[in-house]
Amino acid sequence: MNIASMTRPEQITALEANLHDLTSARSNAFAQDLIAQYKQTKRLSDKQWDWVAKLLGYATRPDPEVKDVGDMAGAIALFDKAGKTLKFPAVVISQDDLTVRISVAGSRSKAPGSLNVTSNEKYPDNTFYGRISRAGAFEINPAADGQKDILVGLLKEFASDPAGAASRHGHLTGRCCFCNLPLKQRQSTAVGYGETCAQNWGLHTEWKNALKDAQQRIVGEPTLQEQTPAQEAA
Ligand SMILES: [Zn+2]
């Protein structure tokens, strides 16, 4: 629907016909007020006409594309655990040039308890990429178009192995994906995320294992230890 090319009376007619698709109670009541006022007085202010167009846009926007990003149970358990210590638990992960922030939708949001996926700027300068239901359905916002495949890949990776995704992000960017601060301590740098964050997010065992692996890797470096021919062949 090309709203800009419609006359104002046509916009009112269309808004009325699509009222049932304005699911937010506030928007719906507001649209009804505007329609009623127009019918009664035949006039609205420019600002009100802007709202008619905007609400019509909301009511007629296409249903979001939905992609399955796999079992989110593990990731959601992390957020639930972190929510006990942190007020606004969020994870920042990136791939290529795309950095996304995943956080839990609050009780006043459209889908409380689902995971919001946005760009990493502060609201309202960020881009809303979509939301992941607790069952793992990723509703993609049209604003994410063009980056859909990277997004879905990133979310799948995070869903299937949150600790691994956290490590990868840290090694790639030098920042902890949980608090978004630069990694400074040697151990955190080796693992890819901080120990305190690991504790907050219920990943302390994973953190300790990753540290052990990293230390073994360093010890196993040929420059640090003489290799026997047998090891070389392995
Ligand atoms: Zn951290």
What are the residue boundaries of the structural domains of the chain, listed by start?
3-60, 68-214
Q: How much is the pLDDT for 222?
A: 56
User: pLDDT in tens for each of the 234 residues of the chain?
Assistant: 788 899 999 999 999 999 998 878 889 999 999 999 999 999 999 999 999 999 999 898 877 788 888 888 888 889 999 999 998 899 999 888 889 999 998 888 888 889 999 999 888 889 999 999 888 889 998 888 788 888 988 888 888 898 999 999 999 999 999 999 999 999 999 999 999 999 999 999 999 999 999 888 877 665 444 444 444 444
| Distance from Cα 142 to the centre of ligand 1, integer Å | 31
Per the CB < 8 A criterion, the answer to whether 73 and 125 are in contact is: no
Backbone angles phi, psi at 123, to 5 degrees: -60, 140
Q: From the CA of 128, how far away is ligand 1's center (Å)?
A: 23
How far away, in angstroms, is 123 Cα from ligand 1 center?
21
For residue 176, what pLDDT is reported?
Answer: 96
- How far away, in angstroms, is 195 Cα from ligand 1 center? 7
| CA 90 – CA 75 distance, rounded (Å) | 11
Cα 172 to ligand 1 centroid, rounded to whole Å: 15
Q: How far is the CA of 33 from the centre of ligand 1 (A)?
A: 48
User: How far, in Å, is the centroid of ligand 1 from the Cα of 192?
Assistant: 9
How far apart CA 224 and CA 234 sit, in angstroms, is: 18
Q: So what's the pLDDT on residue 129?
A: 93
* Ligand 1 center from residue 127 Cα (angstroms): 23
pLDDT of residue 220: 64
CA of 78 to the centre of ligand 1 (A): 14
